[in-house]
Amino acid sequence: MVIPQAMKAVDILRNGPPEVLKIINCPVPNPSKDEILIKVHFAGVNKPDALQRLGQYNAPPGANPRLGLEVSGEVVAIGKSVNRWKIGDYVTALVPGGGYAEFVTTNEDHALRIPDGLDMNQAAALCETFFTVWTNVFLRGKLRAGEKFLVHGGSSGIGTTAIQLASAFGAEVYTTAGSDEKCERCEDLGAKCSINYKNNDFAEVLLEKTNNKGMNLILDMVGGAYTTRNISIMANDARLVLIGFLGGHEANVNFTQVMMKRLIITGSTLRPQSDNKKTEIAEGLVQEVWPLIDSGKIKPVMDSTYNIEEVVEAHKRLESPDHIGKITLKVL
């Protein structure tokens, strides 16, 4: 194809509500020697995008400053050192920013083949959540078969992915969610028990459900006051992995429990990690997880899709309490 000089993309006029997002025209990026240029078909809409829009999650130095961290599409140009992909290949990709656009570049090693049985829309809903869950639950959190695993926000894109992956690898999964409908969906995906946190104290329920044994691993995107309650239900030698701070950046922690139970508290964000680390995560996904998607055992849970011109509505949906699973933008 003939690559145009200009393209349509989403930009942030200023930090604020969804209405600050606008469609602009800007130059099509050129791939560096180890990058591919993707003609975007669909782009995933994720919580880090909303946080960046609000000014709470800035792009790392050198990264594309525009929104969008995962896409699906066609490779239309390659850098001179690229050997994994050729023009005309279709990929799903983790991108360093700029995914809400007609074209985007990314490192060749951060693009993955589209799993069997998925369409381009579903493929755009993979990378941000699967990279995040794989690195935090399995590489950092070291989840093992038979362990009790709690994921907060079970109906989110991260949550629905974590439930399926943890279940597939033999863990006993527990979740929290904000409505009975969401809890039911989480259990349909494989959670043994999903707790409506608006009606119940999740800590009390989980201690009762586990005969006071507690959790071996907790994946938490809430932070804040949840931290103390998480620690109270952790088993000896358990791990708490923080990936968000929806409930606040700070918490009061009694470190006596941490020491007596030999707990590990850690956390990470995906976007600032090195290209080599992201490549390592991608290789693990292709080897361990993509076969599960190929077989149909795991698939992304889709909530809704909007045209790129409806990006404001997509962000409103993302921030509503009603969505379950992934939201995408149709670009092509």
Read off the CATH number of the domain in which 244 is found.
Answer: 3.40.50.720
Read off the CATH number of the domain in which 48 is found.
Answer: 3.90.180.10
For residues 142 and 259, membership in a common domain is answered with yes
For residues 139 and 259, membership in a common domain is answered with yes
Give the residue carrying structure tokens 């507690």.
Answer: 214
For residues 140 and 252, membership in a common domain is answered with yes
Give the residue carrying structure tokens 């011109």.
Answer: 309
What per-residue confidence (pLDDT) applies to 251? 83
193 in a structural domain: yes
Give the helix, strand, coil percentages of the chain, each rounded to 5: 30, 30, 40
Q: How many domains does the chain have?
A: 2
- Residue of 169, 149, 146, 145 whose CA lies nearest to 159: 149
For residues 99 and 164, membership in a common domain is answered with no
How far apart, in whole angstroms, are the C-alpha atoms of residue 327 and residue 223? Answer: 23
Single pTM value for the model: 0.95
15 in a structural domain: yes
For residues 142 and 253, membership in a common domain is answered with yes
For residues 112 and 222, membership in a common domain is answered with no
What per-residue confidence (pLDDT) applies to 223? 85
What per-residue confidence (pLDDT) applies to 1? 81
How far apart, in whole angstroms, are the C-alpha atoms of residue 233 and residue 210? Answer: 10
197 in a structural domain: yes
Residues spanned by the domain of 293: 6-126+274-330
243 in a structural domain: yes
For residues 203 and 262, membership in a common domain is answered with yes
Read out DSSP for 1-63?
-PPPSEEEEEEESSSSSGGGEEEEEEEPPPP-TTEEEEEEEEEEE-HHHHHHHTTSSPPPTTS
Domain boundary residue among 267, 289, 309?
Answer: 267
1 in a structural domain: no
For residues 114 and 136, membership in a common domain is answered with no
Buried b (16+ CB within 10 A) or exposed e, 129-150: bbbbbbbbbbebbebeeebbbb
Cβ 136 vs Cβ 243: under 8 Å: yes
Domain boundary residue among 267, 291, 307?
Answer: 267
315 in a structural domain: yes
For residues 112 and 173, membership in a common domain is answered with no
Coil, strand, or helix at residue 100? coil
For residues 310 and 261, membership in a common domain is answered with no
What per-residue confidence (pLDDT) applies to 269? 92
For residues 134 and 32, membership in a common domain is answered with no
What per-residue confidence (pLDDT) applies to 245? 83
For residues 120 and 134, membership in a common domain is answered with no
Domain boundary residue among 212, 244, 267?
Answer: 267
What per-residue confidence (pLDDT) applies to 101? 98
297 in a structural domain: yes
Phi, psi of 43 (to 5 degrees): -130, 140
Give the residue carrying structure tokens 């140009």.
Answer: 77
Between vectors from CA 255 to CA 250 and to CA 260, what angle results, nearest 5°?
145
108 in a structural domain: yes
- Quick one: how far is CA 314 from the chain centroid? 16
- Residue of 156, 195, 157 whose CA lies nearest to 173: 195
What are the 10-residue block averages of pLDDT along the chain, 332 residues in total? 95 97 98 98 97 94 95 98 98 98 98 98 98 97 98 97 98 97 97 96 96 96 89 97 86 90 95 96 98 97 98 97 96 95
Strand partners, 205: none
